[in-house]
Amino acid sequence: MAETHRVGGSPEKFKLKLRRFDPESGEAPYWDEHTIELEPHRSVLEGILQARARFDGSIGIRCSCRAAICGSCGVRINGEPGLACHTHLDHARDSSPDGTIEVEPMGNMPVIKDLVVDMDAVHWKKIQRVTPWLLAKQPVPEREYLVPRENMVDVTQSMACIQCGACVSDCLAMEVDPGFIGPAALAKAYRFVGDPRDAERHERLNDLSQDPQGIYDCTHCFKCVQACPKDVNPMGQIMRLRRIAGADEHIVDQNNGYRHEHAFVKNIRRNGLLHEADLVPDSSGGKFHPRAIPELISGMPTAIRGLMRGKMTLSKILLHPHKAPKPVKKYFDEIDSKPERYELNLYVTGYDEDDEPTPATVGEGSTT
């Protein structure tokens, strides 16, 4: 992945195509093109600022530190979310199909002007939603809390978030369900769920599980993992919230999240391969559970169509043609019944030294 970027080098020309929009003008959004001249290793943000200084003082962009710390300059570059100050001009040119660097405002948030979006209307509301502060266990000790190092190292990954909104911009669940709490806020929630000083772990998890737009609304699309300039791995944090909610706190939510996970695991333990026909009723509590009946009825037309096309056969639906090999069952039982889960976190452990081509090169500014 890591293309080497020359530091220094002589200035080159780059074509920038900027998405412009001024709601007060009453005009529709449009594209604006400028050719700027800078050393190839300089950032897209510097390119935009040069265009503003030289050609058009009205270009709207929010920025401050220019060093991937403040999180102000989140935009979409060639359709991908990221920080303008954290993307090299030559890299952006190379990732564009025609060599023109296309810069748009982030998605899932209303545009205030040009490349500036309304973070308050979406991102910060969602952050507020997860009670983003420590609710300390009582009584508060007279001196400092003593917390195991592993716990603190573990939550530093979600603490690395700089609130740039890149993950929110491209969240695919939010695209169809704007009320979804979303990747940034849920990663923030893990920061407190994973903190042993917090007194409200169960309540936090119960709240986020029961909310139809909470942890079980994530579609597992990896967009946020790819978008994050700080390697926060928001989707990974959401999966950990689910794991802790289900396995440690035994929270059975109204969204079928817990039941789906457990039905799936049970299904593979028994069959070795996924037996789809059992998954829907089992996710609702089992074939004979009252809750499963409406699900089964609403699924009937789909099942009938499948049967008529020969995709499914009755014997495939009713019988279990596959059986898991005995050792597989044993792995399920042994690993699942361990008092403590063995969870390798590469963010904490890093990669073995002998691995030359592994992602030690996630990008500068990442904290791996």
Partner 1 sequence: MSIKVAYWPGCVSRGFTPELHGSMAAVAPLLDIELVELDRANCCGAGVIAEHNQELADTLNARTFALAQQVQGAELMMNICSTCQGAQSECQERLDANAEYRAHVNRTLSAEGLTYKKDPGGAGGASFTNKNFLWLLVEEIGLDALRERVKRPLTNLKVGPFYGCYIVRPRERLGIDSEHPRDHYLAQVIEALGGTVISYAGERKCCGFPIITMNKEASLKQAGTHLGDAKDADADCLVTPCPLCHLNLDLQQPLAAKAVGRELQMPVLHLPQLVGLALGLEPKQLGMQRHIVRPTSVIDWSTAVVGAAA
Contacts of partner 1 in 147-206 (CB under 8 A):
172-173, 175-177, 180
- Shorter beta-carbon distance to partner 1: residue 191 or 275: 275
Per CB under 8 A, contacts with partner 1 among 198-257 are 212, 216-223, 225-226, 239, 242-243, 246-247, 255-257
Tell me the C-alpha distance between 337 and 101, whole Å: 53
**Binding-site size, partner 1 (CB under 8 A):** 77
Per CB under 8 A, contacts with partner 1 among 1-30 are 1, 3
Q: Which residues pair with 20 in a beta bridge?
A: 30
Residue 334 contacts partner 1 per CB under 8 A: yes
Minimum distance of partner 1 from residue 127's CB (angstroms): 22
- Shorter beta-carbon distance to partner 1: residue 141 or 321: 321
In the chain, which ranges are continuous DSSP H helix? 44-54, 89-94, 125-129, 149-159, 166-169, 172-176, 183-193, 201-210, 223-227, 234-243, 257-271, 276-283, 292-308, 314-318, 326-336, 346-349
Tell me the C-alpha distance between 25 and 58, whole Å: 13
Minimum distance of partner 1 from residue 84's CB (angstroms): 19
- Shorter beta-carbon distance to partner 1: residue 98 or 142: 98
Residue 323 contacts partner 1 per CB under 8 A: no
Question: Which residues are within 8 A (CB) of 350 and not within 5 positions of it... i.e. 6 or more apart?
Answer: 368
Question: Which residues are within 8 A (CB) of 266 and not within 5 positions of it... i.e. 6 or more apart?
Answer: 282
Tokens 């597992």 belong to which residue? 220
Minimum distance of partner 1 from residue 338's CB (angstroms): 8
**Nearest by Cα to 156 from 233, 73, 61, 70:** 233
- Shorter beta-carbon distance to partner 1: residue 57 or 327: 327
Tokens 């669940």 belong to which residue? 173
Tell me the C-alpha distance between 92 and 83, whole Å: 12
Give, in order, the Cα–Cα distances in Å from 277 to each of 256, 298, 344: 16, 14, 33
Residue 54 contacts partner 1 per CB under 8 A: no
- Shorter beta-carbon distance to partner 1: residue 177 or 200: 177
- Shorter beta-carbon distance to partner 1: residue 68 or 224: 224
- Shorter beta-carbon distance to partner 1: residue 196 or 212: 212
Binding mask 336-355 for partner 1 (x = CB under 8 A): x-x--xxxx-x--xxxx-xx
Per CB under 8 A, contacts with partner 1 among 269-308 are 272-276, 279-280, 283-284, 301-302, 305-306
- Shorter beta-carbon distance to partner 1: residue 55 or 264: 264
Q: Burial of 149 by CB count in 10 Å (0-12 exposed, 13-18 middle, 19+ buried)?
A: exposed
Q: Name which position in 131, 261, 291, 296 contacts partner 1 (CB under 8 A).
A: 261
Per CB under 8 A, contacts with partner 1 among 64-103 are 94
* CA dihedral for 61, 64, 66, 71, sign (positive or negative): negative
CB 285 within 8 A of CB 294: no
Question: Which window, 42-50, 103-111, 141-149, 258-266, contacts partner 1 (CB under 8 A)?
Answer: 258-266
Longest dimension (CA), the chain: 72
Minimum distance of partner 1 from residue 250's CB (angstroms): 13
Minimum distance of partner 1 from residue 76's CB (angstroms): 13
Minimum distance of partner 1 from residue 58's CB (angstroms): 29
- Shorter beta-carbon distance to partner 1: residue 58 or 298: 298
